Structure 1
Amino acid sequence: MTSVLITGASRGIGRAIATELAARGHRVIATARRPEDLDGLDVEQRLRLDVTDQESIDRALLAAGEIDVLVSNAGTTIRAPLENVPLSEVEALFQLNTFGPLRLVQGVLPAMRERGAGRIVFISSIQGRLVLPAIGPYGASKWALEAIAETLAIEAGHFGVKVSVVQPGAVTSGGAERAKSFFTENDPYTPLYEQLGALRGESVTSEEVAATVADTIEQSDPPLRVPVGTPARAALEARKAAPENAPFLPVPLNW
């Protein structure tokens, strides 16, 4: 039985991951900023953990005991053009989406390295490899997270620790609907934002993401990057195939 700590397990993808792994017989430590939001989860432990607070992380890791797998899932998104997004919101996004996972890694990695075994799974996005208009700050936080993950795969791989990045596209978890928006009145970028739905493609469910995470954990030699579903794979393949030296053509606006 593998011991798995999951961040951001109160709802959406994180809760689905906790449910899936528990059903497969793993020892699951589900964490969230509000532990009462974890009520109803049939898991081994339910702990308070705020990835932006080092003391909270330290207390949770002490209570969790030995951790074989870290699933770094906690995160959020916002909607805003880069021209007028509040920088304080961008900083908060990086604290949660990028620095938070790194804090957790620094907490669990020493013991994994000493044991010569461990798994770290980051929940990223296809936007860790491409960008969408009006979601630039989120994409930037995920690009940075993927750089951390790739570096970690090289560094920690020498000590038996395996790293994977799970990359869904649009997910029917409610995260996009809950996102704060920072468009101004009569914002010139609104027409571009209104076309975002067509750019995002088909959605997958939180349960599909959870099954992919569980399958990745249970592989003996998992890949570094794991797209979730056909739409995500197609988008990433198209981005990879696009020539880097071609002129950049913005998406036409339907004014």
Structure 2
Amino acid sequence: MSAQSKVVLVTGASSGIGAEVARQFVEQGHTVYGTSRNPETVADPIRGVHYVALDNADYDSAVACVEHVGIVDILVNNAGESQAGALEDTSMDAIENLFRVNVFGPIALTKAVLPGMRERGSGTVIMVGSMLSSFPVAFRSNYAATKSALKAFALATRREVAPYGVRMISVEPGTIATGIGERRSVHIGDRSPYAAEYQTLAAATRTNEDAGIAASTMAQVIVDAALAEHPKPFYAKGNQAGLVFALRRLLPSQLILDITARKHGLRKIRS
């Protein structure tokens, strides 16, 4: 892509990674639209970011958002919800809603920008996933599954849209210090047999998140990928990504699952 100013649409731009991505694009001279379910209530608006309404759970709002913005050169699908708990204790409604917000909403928004990108012969779509997709852990099954779906959409669609100058990129952040744990929905029954182990995992997760990399560090990876002349299909950052992905290729799958569980405070158990 050329160095000229781009029109960038960043979802979930009111906080965390999304806010830092929006900030860095503005600092580089690009026109940036940031989405929020309630743009007028953004607590710490970034100067230069144009806030627009988007509710990932409402597919019609994706169409309205793109109609409002107009041309979109770069779409960063970052908005989503975090969920934890035991699969057995999580209702189907909660699982379906998570997929609606984390998968189907971003896909609806991507579908809304693709015709314009294809007709102009250029564009970039980035799906912001999670390293839990590549390194799943107990009590995060639903969240990991949504992020795995996003990655599959990005990697499979990459070749589909490539002839039209459109690039699809998957990005997996590791543990990020954004305070997302405070907003995570938790599904554990009052008398759940899984309660004790979940609390062990939750305590380890809090510790890991407190020591996670800064949102600005992850945002730089996303911005650099979006502006690269020939971006890679996949980027990961945090949790010693270079090392752990190399080990993932070399070690048995069960050992990787055991190591991931241990990182989250859970002991090894053979099933």
The answer (yes or no) to whether the contact 1:192–1:253 under 8 Å persists in 2 is: no
The question of 1:205 aligning with 2:253 is answered no
> SS state of the match for residue 188, structure 1?
coil
**Cross-structure match for 1:96:** 101
**Which aligned segments of 4 or more residues in structure 1 are displaced greater than 4 angstroms?**
197-202, 244-251
Give the drift of 1:236.
Answer: 3.0
1:74-89 correspondence to structure 2 within 5 Å:
74-89=79-94
Query: What's the offset of the Cα at 1:247?
Result: 11
State whether residues 136 and 257 of structure 2, in contact with CA within 8 Å, keep that contact through their aligned partners in structure 1. Answer: no
Residue equivalent to 1:20: 24
Give yes or no for contact 2:157–2:168 (8 Å, CA) kept in 1: yes
> Structure 1 residues 43, 247: CA separation in 2 closer, same or farther (over 3 Å shift)?
closer
CA contact (8 A) 2:175 2:238 kept: no
* Structure 2 match to 1:236: 245
| 3-state SS of 2:32 partner | strand
Secondary structure of 1:130's aligned partner: coil
TM-score, structure 2 normalization: 0.86
Q: Deviations over 1:90-140 (max 9, x none)?
A: 111100111111101110011111111110011101012221111110001
1:239 Cα deviation from its structure 2 partner: 2.8
Please list the CA deviations of residues 191-218 of structure 1 after superposition, one character each: whole Å capped at 9, or x if unmatched.
3323435478551111111111111112
Alignment of structure 1 residues 41-52 onto 2, 5 Å: 41-52=46-57
Count, aligned residues: 254
Matched, 1:71 2:66: no
Amino acid at match of 2:236: P
More divergent stretch after superposition (23-32 vs 228-237): 228-237
Worse-matched range after superposition: 132-141 or 191-200: 191-200
2:186 aligned residue: 181
C-alpha contact (below 8 Å) 2:55/2:61 kept by paired residues: yes
- Identity percentage over the alignment? 30
Please report how far the alpha carbon of residue 253 of structure 1 lies from its aligned counterpart in structure 2 after TM superposition: 6.8
Instruction: For 2:16 and 2:254, locate their aligned partners in 1 and report how far apart those are by CA, in whole Å.
Output: 38
CA distance in structure 2 between the aligned counterparts of 1:222 and 1:35, rounded to whole angstroms: 31
The amino acid that maps onto 1:99 is F
User: What value does the CA root-mean-square deviation take over the aligned residues?
Assistant: 2.3
Structure 1 residues 245, 192: closer, same or farther in 2, change over 3 A? Answer: closer
Deviations 1:67-95 (A, max 9, x none): 10000011011111112211111111100
Secondary structure of the structure 2 residue equivalent to 1:50: coil
Among 10, 14, 22, which residue is 1:6 paired with? 10
Structure 1 residue aligned with 2:62: 57
Q: One-letter code of the match for 2:110?
A: V
Letter in 2 for 1:22: V
Residues of 2 paired with 1:22 and 1:138: CA distance?
30
For the residue of structure 2 that corresponds to 1:204, the secondary structure is: coil
Look up the equivalent residue of 1:205 and give its one-letter code: A
Instruction: Report the equivalent of 1:154.
Output: 159
Q: Distance in 2 between matches of 1:245 and 1:44?
A: 45
Structure 1 residue 252 corresponds to structure 2 residue 256? no
Deviation of the 1:33 alpha carbon: 0.7
CA deviation after TM superposition for structure 1 residue 2, in Å: 0.9
User: Structure 2: how far apart are the matches of 1:210 and 1:113?
Assistant: 26
Q: TM-score, normalised by structure 1?
A: 0.91
**Contact kept? 1:30, 1:43, Cα under 8 Å:** no
Distance (Å, rounded) in 1 between the aligned partners of 2:176 and 2:21 = 14
What's 2:118 paired with?
113
For structure 1, which runs of at least 5 residues remain unmatched after alignment?
Answer: none
Change (3 A) 1:215 1:248: closer
Q: Report the CA distance shift for 1:185/1:230 in structure 2 as closer, same or farther (over 3 A).
A: closer
Query: Unpaired runs of 5+ in structure 2?
Result: none
SS at match of 1:114: helix
Cα displacement (A) at 1:43: 2.4
